[in-house]
A and B are shown apart, each in its own frame.
Chain A
Amino acid sequence: MSSADSAPLLEVRDLGKRFGGLTALSGVSFSVAAGETVGIMGANGAGKTTLFSLVAGNARPSAGTIAFAGGRIDGLSPDRICRLGIARTFQIVKPFPGLTVLENLRTAAMFGRAGLHDRREADAAAMAVLEEVGMAALASAPAATLTLAGQKRLEVARAIATGARLVLLDEVMAGLTATEVGQMLDTLRRVRDARGLTLIVIEHVMQALMKLCARIVVLHHGERIAEGTPEAIGNDPRVLSVYFGTAA
C-alpha cells in the first residue's frame, strides 16, 4: 500500500466541546481511513451527536482539531464542509417537507461535493441514488407524506446524493421495525460498496452496528473509553462495566 492510501481520511485530535457549563466532549481522538466503516457507540448523552455536529460544521469545537483529506476543517461552515466531501444525517430527520423526494435530493446533487449546477444533470444523479436506495417510485411524492422509515431512507439518500466521500449516519435505524432495519442494512452495504463510501455510524441497534462496522469507538460522558473490533469491544472490561456494572 502506498503512503497516500494509509493516510487517514478523517483525523480527530483532542476534540472537546463545552456548552456553557456542560462538557459534551473532551479529549476525543481517533482516525478513519478511506473505505472504512467505523461505529460510534455510547449511552445517551455520551456526546455522539455532538461529535457529528463538530465534524459536519454545525458547531465549532471548543478544543482540538479535525482534519479531512489532509486539511483542517474545524471552524469551517457546514456548507463548505459539505462541498469538501462530508455529509451527515440528522437524528431527528430534517426533510424539506414542501419539496418532493426528488427535489430533496436535487439540493444535495446541486450543492454538495457533486456540484451539478445544471438541473437536469442534478435530477439524473438524484434519480440514480433513488434507484439505489429503492425509492425511485416515490420521486414525485412530497417529502412530508413519507412514513418515518421513508423519511429516514430519504435522509440517507440525500446525504449520499451530495457525492460525499464520508457519510455520517446518525441513528438511521431508530424507530424502524426489525424488517425495516434489515432493509436499511442491505441498502447501506450496497450503496457503500458501489460508491466506495467511508461511513461513520452512530447506532443503538447493536446487531446492525456489529454487522456494518469493522471498528467501533466507544464514548462515555464525552470521552473515548474504548476502540476496537466488534468482538473486542464486546469483551472489553471497561465497556462491560459501563453498560452492565462490574464485570460478571
Chain B
Amino acid sequence: MSAVPVPAPATRAWAVAGLLGAAALAALPFFANPYLVATGLTLLMWLALTQSWCLLSKLTGYVSLGHVVFYGLGAYLVVVTWQSWPLPLAIAAAGALAALFAALIGLPVLRVRGPYFVILTFGIAELVKYSILAAEAASGTASRILFGAPDLIVIYFAMFALAAAATLLLVVVGRSRFGHGLRSLRENEEAAETLGVPVVRYKLLAFVLSAAIPGMVGAVMALRSTYFVVGQVFDPMISVTAIAMALLGGGDDTRGPILGTLFLFIVSEVLWIRAPLAYMLILGAVLAGFVLVAPGGILGFLDGRRARGAGGA
C-alpha cells in the first residue's frame, strides 16, 4: 500500500516565522513611539482585511472587488451608535451587521460567475456608499465629529486581536473539510457539486465568514478618526489594496496575504505621505502587472524556483 504523500517541512519554518512576527507586533506598543504604533496598527488592519478577503476569494475563486462594503458598514454602525452604545457592543454588532448583509445578498450575488461577480461586488459596494450618502444628505447630516475615542493602545490591541482572528480563521478553514470543499468548487464547480460538495451552501458560508472581521475592522478604525467621512470608509481603493496585497503574495493560504501585505505596506508607507497619487498609480501597476506577468504572486514564483531547482519530477 503506497504511503500518503506528506506535505513539505517548510510549513514549520513559516509557522515559526509567523509566531515570531506576531510576538514582535504584540510587544510593539511597549517600546515604540506613537507614530510607530500607529504604523503597526495600519499593518494589522491590512493583515486582517487581506486575510479575510482571501477566505472568500482565494479559496472559492469568486474574486470580490467590493470587500470594502463590510468595512464601511461596520464603521458606519459605530459612528451612528456613538456614545449611545457601549463600544464593545458596537464593534461586535458591526461584525454581525456585515455578516448579516452578506447573508442577505449572498444567494443572488453568488449565482453570478467570473468577471461579472467581480464587477457586481464592486457595484454593490458603490451602491451602498451612494445610498448612505444620499440618505445623509436627505436627512441633513453634514458631517460627524467623534469625541471621546479610546487610546491608541486599546485600539491597537483590538486590531491585533482581529488580525490574529483573521489569520487563525484562514488557517483553520484552509485545513478543514470545508476548506477542501471550497477549493474543489473553485477548481470546477459543477464537478465539485456532482461529487457531493454542497456548493451553494459552502459559497454562502465563505461569503458570510469573510464579512464579519472586516466589519469589526471598520468599526475599530472608525475610532481613529475624529472626523468621519462616508466616502472614505467606502473607498474602493481599500478593496483594491487588499486584492493587490493578496495577489502580490500569491497562494491560497495565510502565507500569501502576510507576504503581500508586508511588501506592499512598506512601499505604501514610503510613498503615501509624499506622493499619494503616485502610490495609487503603483497600486494599479502592481495589480495589472501581477495579473499579466506573475499571477501566482511571490509564492508562485518561489514554488516555481523550488520545482526547477529540484530538477522537476
Contact = CB atoms under 8 A, between A and B. Distances in A.
Interface of A: 56-58, 77-79, 82-83, 87-88, 90, 94-100, 102-103, 106-108, 110-113, 115, 117, 119-120, 123-124, 127-128, 130-131, 136-137, 139-140, 158, 162
A128 B1 contact: yes
A131 B193 contact: no
B1 A77 contact: no
Contact of B187 (A88, A97, A108, A120): A97
Contacts of B187: 95-99
B4 A79 contact: no
B197 A79 contact: yes
Interface string B194-218: 1111111000000000000000000
Given A94-B191, A96-B192, 13 more contacts: A56-B194, A79-B193, A82-B196, A94-B188, A103-B183, A106-B180, A111-B195, A112-B195, A119-B177, A124-B4, A127-B1, A139-B5, A158-B195
Contacts, number: 102
B136 interface: no
B2 interface: yes
Interface residues of B, number: 25
8 contacts: A58-B193, A95-B188, A96-B184, A96-B187, A99-B184, A111-B181, A119-B177, A130-B2
Contact of A140 (B1, B5, B181, B193): B5
Interface of B: 1-5, 175, 177, 180-181, 183-184, 186-188, 190-200
A5 to B, nearest CB: 27
Given A107-B180, A110-B180, A131 B1 contact: yes
B150 to A, nearest CB: 42
Contact of A95 (B177, B191, B194, B200): B191
Please provide the 4 A-B residue pairs with the shortest distance between their CB atoms, ordered closest to farther: A111-B196, A96-B187, A82-B196, A94-B191
A115 B181 CA distance: 12
B184 A123 contact: no
A96 B5 CA distance: 18
A79 B191 contact: no
B256 to A, nearest CB: 14
A88 B194 contact: yes
Contacts of A110: 177, 180-181, 196
Contacts of A56: 194
B202 to A, nearest CB: 10
A137 B5 CA distance: 10
A95 B188 CA distance: 7
Q: Which residue, of B4, B195, B197, has the highest number of chain A Cβ atoms within 10 A?
A: B195
Nearest to A140: B5
A67 to B, nearest CB: 19
B138 to A, nearest CB: 44
A83 B164 CA distance: 36
B197 A96 contact: no
Contacts of A106: 180
A127 B5 CA distance: 10
Nearest to A110: B177
Nearest to B3: A127
A79 B98 CA distance: 29
A90 B189 CA distance: 13
B198 A79 contact: yes
B9 to A, nearest CB: 15
B5 A102 contact: yes
A79 B196 contact: yes
A83 B191 CA distance: 14
Contacts of B196: 79, 82-83, 107-108, 110-113, 115, 162
Contact of B191 (A57, A96, A123, A136): A96
A153 to B, nearest CB: 15
A96 B1 contact: no
B4 A131 contact: no
A170 to B, nearest CB: 11
